[in-house]
Structure 1
Amino acid sequence: MNPANISTLSPEMASALGGLAYGLYFLSTGGLEQPRGMLVSWVSQVSGDPPLLQVAVRHNRGLLPEILAQGEFALNLLPSGDLALAAALGRSPEQRWDGIEFLEGPLGLPVLAQGPGAIGCRVLDSSTPGDHELLLVRPSGVLWRGGAVLGTGEFEHAYLGLS
């Protein structure tokens, strides 16, 4: 693990936190004509009945106000091993969509045309206990193609929320 900006954490704590397993997802919103999105990794199911997820979005991300205003987004599951797609989705907003195809998915939201699938999410609540906004969401539709999902264990380093 070689995380950037870990000065506030001991090497042991950074390694332990980096060892927590997460997926890597692409959160998309907007419409097919003008999709917007960002990579997120801190996602967890927090209830089975009803099914609820929690998604963390750093407070300074430009997309956060739009997500909160729209009240819904699609959580795209990326295919395991496709580090090139993850890198493309992490490019600057001006270049992010080069070669990326979308189709209409759950809740009429733009979803990636490739990958295991996407979950349409409706925001029920949000809170800011630290430097990330925690979004409590209800899965409200799914497009499922199947396949293994990309995880943070496939990367050289883990996101520790410090950048």
Structure 2
Amino acid sequence: MNPAKLGTLTPEMAAALGGLVYGLYFLSTGSLDQPRGMLVSWVSQVSGDPPLIQVAVRHNRGMLPEILAQGEFALNLMPSGDLDLAAALGRPPEQRWDGIKFVEGPLGLPVLAQGPGAIGCRILDSSTPGDHELLLVRPSGALWRGGAVLGTDEFDHAYLGLS
């Protein structure tokens, strides 16, 4: 990694943090007519009873105010090995939906028509301890089709939260 892009991290810390493995997910909101979404990777189940999930969204993401105002979103589980879908969903917004199909999912939110499934999430709380907003959410419905989930270990670079 380019040392100029490491911020305050040493190369050793960047390498160690890059070794942490996460899934790659597509957070969707809006409607079937006007879906909105973004890729996220810092996601973890943080409680079993009740089931709770924490999602980190960088504070400079343009969608963050919309997500907080809507109070809910769908967390789409991306299919393992489908790096083309991940690349498509990472395109600029004006090109992002080319060839992407959505169906109605949990909470009536748009979810990807392909992939292992999706979880409808209602925001319970949020906090900003650093450069990411931490969203504590309660799963409120799920769609499960089955299959393996795309992980960050399938990529040749790790998100360190520096962009």
* Bucket of the pairwise TM-score, normalised by the shorter protein: over 0.9
Please state if 1:15 is matched with 2:15.
yes
**Residue segments in structure 2 that go unaligned for 5+ positions in a row:** none
- Which residue number corresponds to residue 69 of structure 1? 69
Output the amino acid matched with 1:144: W
Do 2:7 and 2:162's aligned partners in 1 also have CA atoms closer than 8 Å? no
Structure 1: distance between partners of 2:104 and 2:82:
22
Give the drift of 1:7.
3.6
Calculate the aligned-residue CA RMSD, in Å.
1.0
Structure 1: distance between partners of 2:52 and 2:115:
22
Please state if 1:139 is matched with 2:139.
yes
- Structure 1 segments, 4+ long, off by >3 Å, are none
Give the drift of 1:151.
0.2
- Which residue number corresponds to residue 112 of structure 2? 112
Is the partner of 1:85 in helix, strand or coil? Answer: helix
Structure 2: distance between partners of 1:7 and 1:135:
24
Structure 1: distance between partners of 2:55 and 2:42:
6
Name the % identity. Answer: 87
Is the partner of 1:94 in helix, strand or coil? Answer: helix
Do 2:106 and 2:143's aligned partners in 1 also have CA atoms closer than 8 Å? yes
TM-score by length of 1: 0.98
Is the partner of 2:94 in helix, strand or coil? Answer: coil
Is the partner of 1:111 in helix, strand or coil? Answer: strand
Is the partner of 2:44 in helix, strand or coil? Answer: strand
CA deviations over 1:42-100 (Å, ceiling 9, x no partner): 00000000000000000010100010000000000000000000000000000000000
- Which residue number corresponds to residue 85 of structure 1? 85
Please state if 1:50 is matched with 2:50.
yes
TM-score by length of 2: 0.98
For these two proteins, the number of residue pairs brought into alignment is 162
Structure 2: distance between partners of 1:24 and 1:46:
17
Output the amino acid matched with 2:36: R
